[in-house]
Amino acid sequence: MADLTLSRVIKRFGDLETIHGIDLDIRDGEFVVFVGPSGCGKSTLLRMIAGLEEVSEGDIHIDDECVTQVPASKRGVAMVFQSYALYPHMTVRENMGFGLKMARVPKDEISRRVDEAARILQLEQLLDRKPKALSGGQRQRVAIGRTIVRNPKVFLFDEPLSNLDAELRVQMRVEIAKLHGELRNTMVYVTHDQTEAMTMADKIVVLRGGNIEQVGSPLQLYLNPANDFVAGFIGSPK
């Protein structure tokens, strides 16, 4: 289980404060979407949760452990990026297992975890292929597979679908929702696409200029937007 708590989290780059003291409670198993315009701090916030960016002030807890100073590799979180560079010379199986191999996980354990991830993502038939023989959607699934095999407590996604065409994006939304249905992990998903937010989230966090404007279910935000910004953002056509 993994509850995720942010307490008065501030981020400064030099003298410039870009995240202004975020308080947020995410419960075990929730699918939470951070949404907001470009530059509002979504990636910075996610990277601080991942441990890829230092927190300037405040704390992050996963369950009862304060992880603010814990290195990324020891937090039990894993991130799926927008640019999912796969190793071109490795097969799908090797791509998915590579991180575990580096972590010296035994071979049969790697094989077991890759097979399980391939089953969940329906990549079983493609395990011996190289990335260049895959479609964009299949590559994205391999990238997600690399994350699943690490067995993280918390999954973080930073605009994972924004490089895909519209049709594939819709298909991948459904697949990620299915993935959450099967794994039931805590997932934090960043997007600037309100349709994605409205269709995928248990809970939406609307960000603007490094502050939270509103937190609520898609329905709550739709029916009771806290202000004109939220109303405009949620209601605007895509």
Taking CB within 5 to 8 Å according to partner kind, which of Mg ion, ligand ADP, none is near residue 22?
A: none
Q: Which of 43, 95, 147, 185 binds Mg ion (CB under 5 A)?
A: 43
- 191 lies in the site for ligand ADP, by CB under 6 A: no
> Which residues partner with 204 through β-bridges?
33, 216
In whole angstroms, how far apart are CA 154 and each of 21, 148, 167, 177? 22, 10, 27, 15
Q: How far is the CB of 82 from ligand ADP (least distance, A)?
A: 10
Minimum CB separation of residue 147 from ligand ADP in Å reads: 19
Q: What is the CA radius of gyration of the chain?
A: 18
In whole angstroms, what is the distance from residue 223 CA to residue 108 CA? 51
Q: Candidates 37-45, 99-107, 147-155, 213-221 — which segment interacts with ligand ADP by CB under 6 A?
A: 37-45
Q: Give the pairing type, strands 4-13 and 16-26.
A: antiparallel
Classify 157 as helix, strand or coil. strand
Instruction: Give the CA angle between residues 169, 173, 178 to the nearest 5°.
Output: 145
The nearest distance, CB 36 to ligand ADP, in angstroms, is 6
Q: How far is the CB of 13 from ligand ADP (least distance, A)?
A: 3
Q: Which of 43, 138, 185, 191 binds ligand ADP (CB under 6 A)?
A: 43
How many Å apart are CA 185 and CA 154, to the nearest integer? 6
42 counts as binding ligand ADP under rule CB under 6 A: yes
Q: Which residues bind Mg ion (CB under 5 A)?
A: 43
